[in-house]
Chain A
Amino acid sequence: MKRYLETGNFAIAEAAVLAGCRFFAGYPITPATELAEAMSKRLPEVGGYYLQAEDECAAMHMCIGGALGGMKVMTGTSGPGFILYADPYGWALASEIPIVVLNSGRVGPVSGITGAPGQGEFYNVRFPTQGGNYETIVLAPNSAQEAFYLTVEAFYLAERFRMPVTLLADQLVTDGMEDISVPETDAEKAQMGLRFKDREINYGPEFYPAVDKIDIPPVVLGHNTGALCSDWTPTEEGYDTEEVEACHKHVYRLIYKVRNHKDLITRYEAFALDDDPELVVVSFGTPSRVVKSAVKKARETGMKVGALRLISLWPFPDELFWRRATYLSVELNYDGQLVREIQRACPKDSRVHFLGQCGELPGVQELLTVFQSLLDGKTISPINWQREAW
């Protein structure tokens, strides 16, 4: 193992190179700029290409171009750049192109607060483009080391599912300095649980078969396969069509290749949940680290509290919320996003609460007070979760 004291962005760049990424196109934006910088230094050293695009829309389109020629590719940005991915993200989802995308969350809306962490992109990464009729895969690290691990995993999933995979981090994960271990030998990689998959070429003639299977190689141009790829609804061979039946077959695959292989994607960390505690505190990303400390403290004082941290956000792990309990969602936003999914997934008579704020993390003491009042049967606010943070 090589050890570093470095940022999450550095960890992501190292992981991408390890996973075989040799193409990165980006556009500078806080707090993802350091990833682009790290890639601009690292990629040429291993024979890879770093491109700086005219805007984020072009950056992700360049990545599509790189992937269409058979390369493993990546781009990275923050919320204001992520919305400019809407166009290429849709193309890549529909034509099933493997791309890894980093979205490092800051505080919104629009440019908002540039240098502080936010989690306002929870739904944006689920619906990154228009039109519907697709599922997405989103992973959310809470440390630099986990960002390393999940970046490798994102490249693996992108190949198997032949689609873009988003890493949703926040500014503390990408900018924060932490200890990072980078494996060097195969044994070390295996010990870390890293999974890898090489690019394969689809030789057709059915590039878009009407099945829910994964491990179908993506379209790669330039190998005389007669591959067709476009933004229109494809027939199984890739011809553009206006037929509803063809559309149904196509989006069936886009949706069910993910839904029917969810077990390959879903990851979470359960802490102090073995004894079915009354209160389950749910979070992802950096706030989960404070939540875990608070839950540890709470257990010491005898409170029946557990913590559930989502590592994969989408497809949403509904099954983790089937137990009747009181749920508290701790998020870095004021409007409540993750909490809505919890409320949808949990038994209808569960109590669901929301604690949200932006720019800075909640304090352990503050969390303990909230835990106690919820265990006492009180709510944080007398109305319902939509109003609780106020």
Chain B
Amino acid sequence: MDYLAEKYFRIRKTPSTACSGCGLGQTQKMLTKAIDDLDLGIEDVIWATSIGCSGRQTFAMWKGDGLAATHGRIYAMMSGLTLSLPPGKKIVCTVGDGDAFGIGLQHLLNAARRNVDATVVVCDNLGYQSTGGQYSWTTPEGSVTDSSPYGMYEPNWIQDGRDILNIIREAGATFLARHMSMDGEYGLESMRKALQNRGFSLVHVIFPCITNYASTALGTRNTVNMFRWIKSRARRMDETPDKDTIWRTGVYFDASNSRPDYASVIKGKVKDIDRRSLVK
């Protein structure tokens, strides 16, 4: 078994139940490798997930404490959890695009505003794939899916000058990056930075869904074909985009540790009030 899996994952849940050829494992491995690189142990991390492929497939894989919320609500739960956990714990969170940018966006933006100390990895399979393949708010324009038989024509969160990361940045997130699951060291570096930020970090990772997106939108079930297709539409931040470019990859915004995280703000203030009320 892979040493990372052996060190960090429960035997009962390995290998994961994701479809073979799915890029979710790559994404999860990237995050786990970053955790390992930073010498974090099982007891240091609370692994949170939610609904969808990325939720169901990653839940309970982590050997330590695991948590899964209903659809879109994990960000609100984390906002409470960050105040009550013993000091020094890190919350990491693997969620889907529908969860983060659809049903949970309101809670996600508020968690970013609060600068909750958590690393959210949005595992983007370009749609609602665990329900069979409907379009989401990150599905590229024109994609044929089970709920867009004529091609996706609703404005999404990632094209035509819109970028969901802009909104999350405005909301107050302190670290933002975007990658492809096959970005290797390039993505790993961002993951490490995300984890080192004591505040709200989000890494948006595009990965291939073979079973639904690739087969319906691209007419292939071949992982390599979908890898190539994603690659041809992604450009690093320091490269010049072309007309096909959908995703810019790399660190999008880094204000790591530039403002106190939510728990520090609240706890600091409460300590203050508590002290004053004792003096009274």
Contact = CB atoms under 8 A, between A and B. Distances in A.
Interface of A: 23, 25, 43-49, 51, 53-55, 57-59, 61-71, 73, 87-88, 90-91, 221-232, 238-240
Interface in B4-42: 12-13, 42
Contact of B77 (A43, A51, A62, A223): A62
A47 B67 contact: no
A71 B84 contact: yes
Contacts, number: 145
Contact of A65 (B65, B79, B110): B79
Interface residues of B, number: 41
B38 to A, nearest CB: 18
B60 A238 contact: yes
A44 B85 contact: no
A240 B60 contact: yes
B111 to A, nearest CB: 9
A26 B78 CA distance: 16
A224 B64 contact: yes
Interface of B is mostly: helix
Nearest to A87: B70
Nearest to A90: B70
Nearest to B65: A221
14 contacts: A23-B83, A47-B271, A54-B106, A61-B76, A63-B80, A66-B84, A223-B86, A226-B64, A229-B68, A230-B68, A231-B68, A239-B60, A240-B56, A240-B60
Nearest to A224: B43
Contact of A229 (B67, B79, B89, B271): B67
Interface in B233-280: 266, 269-271, 273-274, 277
B107 A54 contact: yes
A57 B67 CA distance: 18
A65 B68 contact: no
A387 B235 CA distance: 70
B80 A45 contact: no
B80 A62 contact: yes
Contacts of B66: 227-230, 238
Nearest to A91: B70
B59 A58 contact: no
A65 B84 contact: yes
Contacts of B84: 23, 65-71
B182 interface: no
Which of B51, B68, B78, B106 has the most CB atoms of chain A within a 10 A radius of its CB?
A: B68
Interface string B50-91: 010000100110011111111001001111111111100100
B89 A222 contact: yes
B46 interface: yes
Contacts of A227: 65-66
A69 B79 CA distance: 11
A281 to B, nearest CB: 42
Given A45-B277, A69-B84, A87 B59 contact: no
A67 B80 CA distance: 8
Contacts of A90: 70
A54 B56 CA distance: 26
B60 A58 contact: no
Contacts of A23: 80, 83-84
Contacts of A49: 83, 266, 270
B82 A228 contact: no
Interface string B184-202: 0000000000000000000
Nearest to B116: A65
Contacts of B271: 47
Contact of A68 (B64, B70, B81, B274): B81
A227 B64 CA distance: 7
A64 B64 contact: no
